[in-house]
Amino acid sequence: MRSEAGIAIASPAGADHPLTIDGVGGFRVEHPSAGPEVAEILADSAARGLAVAPVGGGTTLGLGNLPERLDCVVSTARLNGVLAYEPADLTLSVGAGAYFSDVQSLLSEHGQELPLDVAIPEKATIGGLIATGLAGPRRLGSGTLRDLLIGIAVAHPSGTVTKAGGMVVKNVTGFDLPRLYHGSMGTLGIIVSANFKILPAARFESSVLATFPTLDGALEAAMKVRASRLQPLALEVTGEGANGPWLVAVRLAGREQSVNLLAAEARTFLGGDAETRSGVKSQAWWKDYTRKQAVDHGATDVLLRCTSRPSATATMTHMAMTTIAQHGELIRCYVSPGLGAVLIRVDLGISGGVEVLASLRDDLLCRADRVTVLAAPSPWKNGLDVWGPPPPGFDVMQSLKEDFDPHRVLNPGRFAGFL
Amino acid sequence: MARRSASLIEDLIRVVGRDAVYDSPGDLLVYEYDGSVDGAVDTASPAAVVLPRTTEQVAAVVRLASTHNLPVVARGAGTGLSGGAVAQRGGIIIALTRMDRILEIDYADRTALVEPGVINLELSEATLPGGAFFAPDPSSQKACTIGGNVAENSGGPHCLKYGVTTNHVLGLEVVLPSGEVVWTGGRAEGGAGYDLTAALVGSEGMLGIVTKALVRLTPAPEAILVMLAAFGDIDAASHAVTAIIRAGIVPAALEMMDNLTIQAVEPAYHAGYPLDAGAVLLIEMDGLSEDVTETGAEIELICRQHGARSIRAATELVERELLWKGRKMALAAMGRLSPNYYLHDTVVPRSKLPATLRHVGEVARDHNLRIANVFHAGDGNLHPLMLFDRRRAGDVERVLEASHALLHYCVEIGGALSGEHGIGTEKRDYLTWVYSADDLAAMAGVKNSFDPAGCFNPEKLFPRGYMCGEVRALRAQAMAQKHGIYAL
């Protein structure tokens, strides 16, 4: 049974819901309730030559290359418990299937947080967030889950569940496997649970927003903020369509008096028309903004990410805009000048396809250090490595894949270099 | 023990030049040991030591070692405490100390590109005029190298706020055991594939040799405040620590020193540590001036609520450095108390700190040892310092027994075997306390992927005998039997 190209969100355990990955559906969906069960399913799949995709909340199912083959889905929905949370220790151990917003709610009761911007927090799971390595604009000030991981438990096709790291914030006991699994797209094992160091929640926050008629003007203001003492939690420039207007957003967090002082400074960089939002209004704005960066696509549009060194952001953005105009129409652009990243939604129209997409990606690669196709209509990914050219050290990566998953059970073909 | 052939030295000289090869017994003697405790870690002699100046030379030596069937051990300043730079199976030590150039400092992007032999503190001294510094600051930072920091995922007092070395490495140029040179990571985020940089940091020289590191620089804070709070006893001080952390304050550093330590450092440095204090907390806050003052007031209140007898604060550089001197140079002052010491490294959850410190006291009494405490209280990273005299019969044995007991306790209450020093040879046989056979197999998988021949820094990390040929064959057999139904 094949479904139309598109993404369907996986439902919580027990409900009947069509689940498709890159246009392919009709999978058997398993709902294991504990790590050893996951491992058993994987070992069984290995024995039978089957391919498995781990699925959490299904919010980024379209990320990655077309699967080489896929027979079964393992849902982490039932691995959603809080295993250990000691507010006094600022550490948390939680099941991979827990929804991010549920985790945040728990932590906020104690004035703590897992500092991460998530596009669809009520559906994205901890395991999925680790495996995809995706993080929104506040990674500028808070880092990513890579910086917060202190331990992990993973189920393997060998039939075992292994753990690495622990429950303390400093640990040099063996190779850093937790960070190796981060961003590995479920191709080395299925994350069963993870341990994090958590942080005190910011006491207060304010965001300063200003609109500019030109991209140049917006980027200039943003780069001034970047070079200042402000050290914002997030710094974004965004616009719809090549002709703007362009919005600059600066997010500041800390003690209320300090934030108010810094916000005033931000307003001097952004100009007299700057608007300031504080507290929950600020949080809401960023929640809404991050949601727009969800890894999905429409019938004829794609989502790309270009990165370079941060000081080259303006140049990269301008060149990307020109390149995009040659291939399609810009829908929306999200620039992170502090990070050297540009997220772009482009409409390639009905004449879009593999060649057009590949051509756009290759042109962009001349103007950015890295280009990733985060989302695209599945037929357009045919034969394309969305992650870019094979990365350096690919031999070692292949060895790792062969060691952890010799029978290519886990998400075969979906990761870089079709690993 | 891997012996050297007559042609080895000639081959090495051809690659790096005569002045970069040490092979006389006198020269090799200095490279038999590192900062680890003789007795806890055995010393061993390499067949030769080379000091290359370029990446190409490092790669050539690695290939040469392979041709001669010799293991390779990378070495920085040799300050490591877990035996990581000791050539347990002989072979060639590649000392990276002559690759000591800072290649590039980029203040706009706040990155620095350095060779592995650059000394940690010298990097920060070079970048500070531009308003940035390299945050990981192990106590040995005047001597230790960036390459070593990468190998051990070094910490230091400021990692409480800023994170450890792995949080500050953007990319690495490494020579793999195959002799291939590879760049992992880079200046731009979003690198494709597995995070090899993450695997390499903290890999104790077992997966690759770093020949260049692209590191993140941290903006220098606008204001810094250092406080010294004196308490009547360790218990009160440790409760103050947990209270500060629980209050949601993240100081830049939060260190503790006990009375025994003060007895050594105060006469040595006159930093102003009260000699009658049971313990002192050295707390640093940094950030905007207003934040620092306010947070300082909050911390002072918490300390007083937990019985602080006196609190001194310093904002000026000279005063701050003096307060820090007592902490940073604590080990150097220990000679006043004892001819030998064994510095331990373990981590416990912060809420368990008071109980753990009480236990350290018990271990000291039970084993008739003096144990000083000078450590990173803020992240629960203990450094019990066992004082002994090697010349006195029975001292070494008592220290090793006490060490075993102490480590076991820390692991039992949910701690880790090592916070910053690494496993090396020192704690390899304790690894089974925290990892199962399956857990170790996953680590072995990583090792085999980078180093199938097992030639980089053998006899480290994995328990004795774990990686040797017979054991591997047995494990492979067991795995095949387990999965027999789909054996290839």
Q: What is the reported pLDDT for B484?
A: 46
Q: Give the tokens for residue B232.
A: 């009547």
Identity of the residue numbered B275: L
* Binding-face residues of B in 136-175 toward A, CB within 8 A: 152-153, 155, 159, 163-164, 166-167
* Res A289: pLDDT: 98
What is the phi/psi pair of residue B68, to 5°?
Answer: -85, 5
Contact state of B167 with A143 under an 8 Å Cβ cutoff: yes
SS3 category, A372: strand
Residue type, B62: V
How many inter-chain contacts (A to B, CB under 8 Å) are there? 251
pTM over 0.90: yes
Mean pLDDT of the B374-378 span: 95
Question: Is the distance from CB of A372 to CB of A304 less than 8 angstroms?
Answer: yes
Residue B259: pLDDT band with limits 50, 70, 90: very high
Query: Do B240 and B348 touch, CB atoms closer than 8 A?
Result: no
The pLDDT tens digits of the residues spanning B175-223 come to: 999 999 999 999 999 999 999 999 999 999 999 999 999 999 999 999 9
Interatomic CA distance for residues B81 and A356, integer angstroms: 56
> What pLDDT, on the 0 to 100 scale, is given for residue A2?
25
DSSP B90: B
Among A184, A151, A394, CA closest to B439:
A151
Select from B108, B198, B347 the Cβ nearest to the Cβ of A176. Answer: B198
pLDDT value for B487: 34
Alpha helices in B256-316 (DSSP H): 259-269, 289-305
Contact by Cβ (8 Å): B277, B259: yes
CB < 8 Å from A in window 52-91 of B: none
Touching A: B residues 98-127, CB under 8 Å: 106, 108-109, 111
Mutate to test the interface with A, among B105, B169, B189, B255 (most CBs of A within 10 A): B189
Which range has the worst mean pLDDT, A18-22, B255-259, B345-349?
A18-22
Token look-up 């030109």 returns A214
The whole-number average pLDDT for the span B480-485 is 49
Asked if A63 and A109 count as a contact pair (C-beta separation under 8 A), the reply is no
Q: Report how far residue B154's alpha carbon sits from residue B148's, in angstroms, rounded to the nearest whole number.
A: 8
pLDDT band at B290 (very low <50, low <70, confident <90, very high): confident
pLDDT at position B477, please? 60
**Total length of chain B:** 488
Task: Among B106, B182, B190, select the one facing A305 at the smallest CB separation.
Answer: B190
Is this complex scored with an ipTM above 0.90? Answer: yes
- Which residues, other chains included, contact B232 with Cβ-Cβ below 8 Å and sequence gap of 6+? B277, B278, B307, B309
Which of the residues A45, A161, A175 would you substitute to probe the B interface, choosing the one with the greatest number of B C-beta atoms within 10 Å?
A175
Q: What was the pLDDT predicted at A15?
A: 41
Residue B25's Cβ-side half-sphere holds a number of Cα atoms within 13 Å equal to 0
Q: For residue A150, what are its two tokens? A: 């202190």
Listed by number, the residues of chain B in 361-380 with a beta carbon closer than 8 Å to a beta carbon of chain A are 376, 379-380
Query: Would you call A370 and B348 a contact, using CB atoms and an 8 Å cutoff?
Result: no
pLDDT of residue A14: 36
Q: Please give the pLDDT value at position A4.
A: 30
Contact A164 B442 (CB under 8 A): yes
Shortest CB distance from B182 goes to which of A143, A227, A393?
A393
CA distance, residue A169 to nearest chain B CA (Å) = 6
pLDDT number for residue B475 = 59
| Record: contact A170-B186, CB cut-off 8 A | no
Confidence band of B481 (pLDDT split at 50, 70, 90): low
pLDDT at B2: 52
Reading phi first (left if > 0) and then psi (alpha if -120 to 50, else beta), residue A237 is in: beta
Contacts of B419 in chain A (CB under 8 A): 168, 170-172
- Give me the half-sphere count of Cα atoms (radius 13 Å) on the Cβ side of residue B141: 22
pLDDT of residue A25: 85
Query: Measured between CB atoms, does B301 come within 8 Å of chain A?
Result: no
CA-to-CA dists, residue B287 to A232, A264, A273, B474, angstroms: 13, 18, 29, 56
Paired tokens of B148:
């070593």
Distance CA B224, CA A66 (A): 52
User: Could B376 and A255 be called an inter-chain contact, meaning their C-beta atoms sit closer than 8 Å?
Assistant: no
- Partner-chain contact A176 B201, CB within 8 Å: yes
pLDDT value of position B482: 52
Would strands A52-55 and A72-75 be described as parallel, antiparallel, or unpaired?
parallel
Closest in A88, A154, A188 to B242, CB measured: A88
Residue burial B223-233, b: 16+ Cβ < 10 Å; e: rest: ebbbbbbbbee
- Mind telling me how many Å the CA of B18 is from chain A's nearest CA? 33
Closest-CA distance, B412 to chain A, in angstroms, reads 12
Residue B266 phi, psi (nearest 5): -65, -50
- Mean pLDDT calculated for residue range B339-362: 95
- Chain A residues within 8 A of B191 when measuring between CB atoms: 370, 391
Question: How far does A182 lie from chain B, in Å, by closest CA?
Answer: 8
Give the model's confidence band at B471: pLDDT under 50 very low, under 70 low, under 90 confident, else very high: low
**pLDDT per residue as tens digits for the range B305-335:** 999 999 999 999 999 999 999 999 999 999 9
pLDDT in tens, B121-136: 999 999 999 999 999 9
CB-based contact A254 B416, cutoff 8 Å: no
Residue B132 — φ and ψ, nearest 5°?
Answer: -145, 160
Name the stretches of chain A with pLDDT < 50.
1-16
B347 contacts A170? CB cut-off 8 A? yes
Return the pLDDT at B41. 86
CA B459 to chain centre: 18
Instruction: Answer whether B219 touches A (CB < 8 Å).
Output: yes
